[in-house]
Amino acid sequence: MGIVFNSTAKTITLHTKNTSYQMKTGNLDYLLHLYYGPSIRDTDMSYQIMQYDRGFSGNPYESRDARTFSLDAQPQEFSTQQQGDFRTPSIEVVNSDGSYSFHGKAVNYKIIKGKYNLDTLPAAFAADKDTADTLEVVLLDRVSNVEITLLYGVFEEADIITRAVRVKNLGSRSIRLKRIMSVCLDFLNGADMDLVSFPGRYGQERQVERQHINHHIHTIGSVRGSSSHQQNPFVILCDRSATEDYGKCYGFSLMYSGNFLTEAELDQYDQLRLVMGIHPRQFVYELKPQEVFEGPEVVMAFTEHGFTGLSHLYHDFYRTNLCKSKFVTEVQRPVLINSWEAAFMDFDDVKLVNIAKAAKNMGVDLFVMDDGWFGKRDDDNSGLGDWFVNENKIKCGLHRLVEQINGLDMKFGIWFEPEMVSEDSDLYRAHPEWVMQIPGRHAVRSRNQLALDMSRQDVQDYLIEKVNAILDNANIYYVKWDINRSLADIWSNKIPAERQGEVYHRYILGLYRVMDNIIKTHPDILFEGCSGGGGRYDAAMLHYYPQYWVSDNNHPIDRLKLHYGTSFVYPTCTMGAHISDSGKFVPLETKAIVAMCGTFGYELDATQLNKKQQKICKKQSDLFRKYYHITFKGDYYRLTNPFEDGNFTAWMHVTKNKREALVSAVVTNLTCNGPQEYIKAKGLKPDTFYRINKEKTVYSGAALMNAGIPIPREVPEYSAFQFHLKAVNKQ
């Protein structure tokens, strides 16, 4: 059993294969956090909590004269509000009497076989062969009758623990929720820890920053209506000495696509608290009597094997326990070509078919018609929201166009941006009230488009009907689902004035409902998410889409950093990556090797490539298919850090049985008469011998990992190399 209750010590311990997580009902029935780290089995960790008179720290009234117990210094599972704990709180609730207070005591717990579900939000699931258990711990404020249920999902083999929270109003009058964190984790000593986060901007998403934890609140989050280009809802706490291969690392991945907040606070006693959940900016949620609010799930992982070990835990878990699409494991992803950079919005059906014919010579399986096929859409100033085919462009009709593409033995894909609307559109003229716009104020435009009020059920129903009608009208194999702006003018004319603080969250709930009704009802369609590139690349989106567009920046040298940062939590099989015209001086072979660290495809005009270039592309497409079982299902290793000075960037994939590997490298900085460079492999069996690219000579795994593979020096700028390693029986 992954969850053990000790009635004598009043502890509850969660066990995975290599880790333990422990809490206890402590003084005055407060739920205290005791431990998270390497396995301790049945040890009672209560001895760690030392209680002193902290002077200026307040004591709960019930403690009477016992001045040694203060919540300002106690490690808690869910930090209270207005009970003498002045650190960052887990909850902020306005009670029916106007008071700001939550005084939660542990009153019940329940251990359940299997993984819990959330009614309103996406969550990880237990696969068929998983050993998964659920712990529910109930905290109750007996004055306000606010009940908190802490949910824990324990995946034993995966070394994963998930957390979520439910808030229920058991009182007779409404309350207002102004802050709710899904996880609170207190470390008794965090002075020697670092925080790793993944900031960025449009075109440069998920860069990597590492900072020492010091005595203030480190804040990471988004208030842009989505998880954003600027931050990602994933952070790592690690030992200051942690590296790729060694050191303790804790990962926290929030499964939510809207505004989020992570705070890490090192307090006066060097205790570290990390909280993560919905951002409280412009968040006020009313709960009427008996109503329930769910906070999003956080996926937690711990390892002693550095950043690589942490990545492997997340990669394995997210490949099997996040998205139920058959394209995750059952069906090989196609090599695609997207029409955007080939034609933008200047195309007709004849031009598209010609691009597809040329792409067929490049080994392409799937042709994708991007923006410009619907409504009155000749540029990005009109047409969004009018989801009907523009037959001035697609003169033969969508059904016939798809038939022509299928006749080339190619699949067909299509682009949508469901959440947005143009002012110059039939939809806006018919329903201006469907747009988020504050009364009496001009709307903030972005890309000259406005956001639909996704909190409205009539808007949701319209999108479900229109998108499904297109998907059901033709043999659609693939959908690219885009959103190209951040949210502003947050206001809904469907919601009373006093409840406008709910709109941000209701938008996300509405989006998830639309996705449930479109994506999950079309299991044979491959969906790819996009948000001006990677502006909403999070675990919740990957619950729906098996892959997500990493960035609109296709430059292969920039992509080295983009793939590097993304790989810390999200596996290669989720990374949308294409070859494009971006990077004029980068060889086509190099672009292909970079794109092979992802879903692989093309974003260019195939009709402009000569036969030699098409032949090169065909070879690369075939290599992607050949190595698919390695790159999509194997373990990923970051061999170098592209953010540090170096002459090349390298990475590798290794099959689970360690019989095959693919080492990739890009030369990024040629130096005159410089040193010989070597790529040191990882993840191989030291005593196994490997052949490289069918060479006669074989090398031991120990040699390849400790001495490395030499990179040729006399090569053109931005050259790239792939080394296919295959185990052999040494004679």
Q: What letter represents residue 38's amino acid? A: P
**Cβ neighbourhood burial of 532 (10 Å; 0-12, 13-18, 19+):** buried
Q: How far apart are CA 357 and CA 203, in angstroms?
A: 31
pLDDT value for 646 = 86
Q: What is the mean pLDDT of the chain?
A: 96
Structural tokens at position 167? 């808030």
Q: Measuring CA to CA, how many Å separate 138 from each of 23, 76, 89?
A: 13, 14, 18
What are φ and ψ of residue 24, in 5° steps?
A: -150, 155
Q: Measuring CA to CA, how many Å separate 95 from each of 139, 177, 352?
A: 16, 9, 60
First to last CA, the chain: 47
The answer to whether 666 touches 594, Cβ cutoff 8 Å, is yes
CATH superfamily of the 336-633 domain = Aldolase class I (3.20.20.70)
Structural tokens at position 111? 């251990």
The answer to whether 385 touches 450, Cβ cutoff 8 Å, is no
pLDDT value for 52 = 85
pLDDT value for 300 = 98
Residue carrying structure tokens 């794109």: 595
Classified as helix, coil or strand, 532 is coil
The string of DSSP codes covering 663-714 is EEEEE----TT-PPEEEPP-S--TTSEEEETT-S-EEEHHHHHHT-EEEPSS
Angle at 123 between CA 115 and CA 203, to 5 degrees: 150
Q: How far apart are CA 332 and CA 326, in angstroms?
A: 9
The answer to whether 543 touches 322, Cβ cutoff 8 Å, is yes
pLDDT value for 731 = 56
Structural tokens at position 361? 């010579």
- Nearest by Cα to 578 from 368, 327, 330: 368
Q: Which residues are identified as catalytic?
A: 482, 552
Fold observed for domain 639-728: Immunoglobulin-like (2.60.40)
Domains 3-320 and 639-728 share a fold: no
pLDDT value for 62 = 84
* Paired strand residues for 725: 661, 692
Classified as helix, coil or strand, 729 is coil
The answer to whether 332 touches 628, Cβ cutoff 8 Å, is yes
pLDDT value for 254 = 98
Q: How far apart are CA 618 and CA 599, in angstroms?
A: 16
CATH classification (class only), 3-320: mainly beta
The string of DSSP codes covering 402-444 is HHHHHHTT-EEEEEE-TTEE-SBSHHHHH-GGGB---TTSPPP
Angle at 256 between CA 308 and CA 546, to 5 degrees: 65
Structural tokens at position 697? 């000579």
Domain ranges of the chain: 3-320, 336-633, 639-728
pTM over 0.85: yes
Residue 142 makes CB contacts below 8 A (sequence gap 6+) with: 103, 105
Residue numbers in the chain where pLDDT is lower than 50: none
Sign of the Cα torsion 665, 668, 669, 670 reads: positive
Q: How far apart are CA 493 and CA 498, in angstroms?
A: 12
Q: Measuring CA to CA, how many Å separate 466 from each of 279, 417, 427, 463?
A: 32, 12, 12, 5
219: left (phi over 0), alpha (psi -120 to 50) or beta: beta
Q: How far apart are CA 653 and CA 632, in angstroms?
A: 9
Q: CA 238 from chain center: how many Å?
A: 20
**Cβ neighbourhood burial of 87 (10 Å; 0-12, 13-18, 19+):** buried
